[in-house]
Chains A and B, each alone.
Chain A
Amino acid sequence: MTTWKLYIRGDHWRRLDDHLYGSPGEHGAVLLCGTAPGGDHQRLLVHEVHVAEDGTDYTYVDGVYRLGGAFVTRQALRARAEQLVYIAVHPHGGYDSVEFSGIDLRSQHNSTKPLLAASGNDRVGWLVTAPAAANGIVRTKDGEEPITGVVVLDEQRRALRTPRPVRSTSGSIEARFDRQALIYGDDGQRLAAGATVAIIGLGGGGAMLNDMLSSLGVGHLVHVDPETIDITNLPRLIGATRWDALEPFANWLPEKARDRLARSKVSVAKRVARRNNPNIRITTVRREANSRPAIEALISCDYIFLAADTARARLLVNAISAQFLIPMTQIGAKVRVDDDGVVKDVYSVSRVAGRTAGCLWCNGLISTTRLAEEAVSARQRADQQYVQGVANPSVKSLNAIGAAWAVEDFRDWFTGLGSAGQLYTTAHPQAPRVTSSTPRHDADCPFCCGVLGRGVSSPLVGIA
């Protein structure tokens, strides 16, 4: 049976919550949602929140609260125009458990067909909420599919669901994770075990992320990288051996042949992850991030770590993060060296996006020039005299700083401990100093406003 979860970004949730619970009485709203595939459930992604004005759009008639006909029609037609799913929402009493009333169910039964027709969709839904719970239903012309919970993506990740899960008893978590379960509890460890996390780029930074996330107990990792191991990678890739890079054959095997025959980075990452957690599930995509197999894997994830340093990867992941409501962290490390070889600056960054408004595009972190440069062949780039083929200086310890910061933040956020927030953090180990800033947000950003929550109903930019 198809089941759904509804995902909503924090600013939308606060607006909805404020409307539903901010004043006495019962209030209503309509959510217009994109959809996306998930792991064990389908996803409704909130693109727009339309609150119903009390007394006009939401009235109390014959002892029953109801959405007004004009309001419903307006939102249904908007759902049709935008190819979104119409979800009506209202609150009930209670705290951590909530159900539809008999009146609710009769109203849904009577409204399903007309709403399906008006919205032009094959699904419409209803959601009822309590402060710590949510319950819902999606109806089609042939049946119904439960909405089993609401996931709020905010400074702190929250999950509302009914029935309220039974609290775990200690001893039900694998012994290997016992010490870390002391930090965020068995529930937190269980949340990590149920998470699907992608790592794009399994070079130095990505290999660090892979090692830490698999050790954390993340249940499912998605590895995306097309490359093979090179001898120069060995000092930075956790778990890579000289045999993976075919180093013992370096003297007689041509470089091109070594490049083709060496072990892939995703293969090494899988080996490391399984060593850390034998029960981990791995999805391997030995392709570029903007390939179809990679995108199909990414849009079902709960979180994405971006450790690949191309503008195209940033553009794509930024789009997926906004469009599919999947939070992300981009990590990177840089050693700036002047023309005389003098080190001018050394830093490691961790940039969080997708939990609230404000993305990599809003903050000018996706170079439009680099996008143009990356779109032509290497030969063309050489002719155009772009600086290329010059390897960035890189070292494991510097990669570790950004990766550790990112994983710590993810762990706190995902398990509900509460993170420091959606921040851009830069560590300068030579200074030494760490700076954090809150990213800005463009009100008309094409990503974190324009395609927010549209899911599969909108095209995705930059697919190969």
Chain B
Amino acid sequence: MNATVASSVDEAIRDLRDHFGDTSVTVLCGDVGGTWVRIDNVALGGVWTQPTTFVIVHLATTLPFADIYPVFVRSDLTRADGRALQTPVTPGHQAGPAGAQVAAVQVSRKTRGDASRQSAGQKVTKVIEWLRAQP
């Protein structure tokens, strides 16, 4: 039985490296359901105080059919205008594999429609661009 399920996750990791640069993407840990991946030095700006953030996502073994959701960013994310974070951007979460989790802000942006039509890099880019464009 040909069971190269991990190849879909590998492909997603390669795509993230294509989008964000080889050295920025770190594979944290795999588990039964997928693999945690961290991307560093992702540019922010816009309404956010911090110029950059990390991004942590879980890549499910059921990619490309599973959504990449939610996306986690730095835990100290704040708005330059001092306003509180609002749903779908929520503080006080934990991201990453069990035993190595970090505090994080969760960005809950689901993909509308067929998630398999976008790559991992496209999905993460879309979420970050949405974050940057917040009023």
Give chain A's interface residues, CB within 8 Å of chain B.
292, 295-296, 312, 315, 361, 366, 368-369, 371-377, 379-380, 383-385, 446, 456-464
9 pairs across A/B with beta carbons < 8 Å? A369-B69, A371-B67, A372-B58, A374-B60, A375-B60, A384-B93, A446-B116, A460-B3, A464-B61
Interface residues of B in 71-125 (CB under 8 A from A): 90, 93-94, 98, 106, 108, 110-111, 114-116
The answer, among A296, A371, A384, A459, for a CB contact under 8 Å with B60, is: A371
Write out the residue numbers on chain B whose beta carbons fall within 8 Å of the beta carbon of A460: 1-3, 5
* Contact string against A for B residues 40-84, beta-carbon threshold 8 Å, 1 for contact and 0 otherwise: 000000000000000000101110011111100000000000000
Contact between chains at A372 and B60 (CB < 8 Å): yes
Bound state CA distance, A295 and B34, in angstroms? Answer: 19
With A461-B5, A461-B8: A368-B58 Cβ-Cβ less than 8 Å: no
**What band does the interface of chain B fall in when counting residues whose beta carbon is under 8 Å from A?**
20 to 34
Bound state CA distance, A460 and B2, in angstroms? Answer: 7
With A372-B66, A375-B34: A462-B1 Cβ-Cβ less than 8 Å: no
Q: Is B31 an interface residue (CB 8 A)?
A: yes
The answer, among A312, A376, A461, for a CB contact under 8 Å with B58, is: A376
Q: What number of residue pairs across chains A and B have CB atoms under 8 A from each other?
A: 85
Write out the residue numbers on chain B whose beta carbons fall within 8 Å of the beta carbon of A295: 1
Write out the residue numbers on chain A whose beta carbons fall within 8 Å of the beta carbon of B135: none
The answer, among A296, A312, A379, A446, for a CB contact under 8 Å with B62, is: A312
The answer, among B5, B67, B115, for a CB contact under 8 Å with A459, is: B5
Nearest chain-A residue to B87 (Cβ)?
A385
The answer, among B66, B70, B110, for a CB contact under 8 Å with A384, is: B70
Write out the residue numbers on chain B whose beta carbons fall within 8 Å of the beta carbon of A315: 62, 65
Write out the residue numbers on chain A whose beta carbons fall within 8 Å of the beta carbon of B1: 292, 295-296, 456, 460
Binding site of B, secondary structure by majority: helix, strand, loop or mixed? loop
Nearest chain-B residue to A361 (Cβ)?
B65
Contact between chains at B93 and A368 (CB < 8 Å): no
Bound state CA distance, A464 and B98, in angstroms? Answer: 18
Q: Is B4 an interface residue (CB 8 A)?
A: yes
The answer, among A368, A376, A385, A461, for a CB contact under 8 Å with B33, is: A376
Smallest beta-carbon distance A444→chain B, Å: 10
Nearest chain-B residue to A379 (Cβ)?
B98
Write out the residue numbers on chain B whose beta carbons fall within 8 Å of the beta carbon of A361: 65
The answer, among A377, A380, A385, A459, for a CB contact under 8 Å with B4, is: A459
The answer, among A369, A371, A383, A446, for a CB contact under 8 Å with B94, is: A383
Bound state CA distance, A361 and B114, in angstroms? Answer: 9
Write out the residue numbers on chain B whose beta carbons fall within 8 Å of the beta carbon of A380: 58, 94, 98
Nearest chain-B residue to A312 (Cβ)?
B62
**Most chain B beta-carbon contacts within 10 A, residue among A368, A369, A464:** A368
Bound state CA distance, A233 and B67, in angstroms? Answer: 32
Write out the residue numbers on chain A whose beta carbons fall within 8 Å of the beta carbon of B2: 456-460
Write out the residue numbers on chain A whose beta carbons fall within 8 Å of the beta carbon of B60: 371-372, 374-375
The answer, among B68, B106, B116, for a CB contact under 8 Å with A372, is: B68
Write out the residue numbers on chain B whose beta carbons fall within 8 Å of the beta carbon of A369: 67, 69, 110-111
With A368-B66, A384-B93, A461-B65: A377-B5 Cβ-Cβ less than 8 Å: no
Contact between chains at B98 and A461 (CB < 8 Å): no
Contact between chains at A368 and B65 (CB < 8 Å): yes
Closest 5 CB pairs of A and B: A375-B60, A371-B66, A375-B33, A368-B115, A368-B67
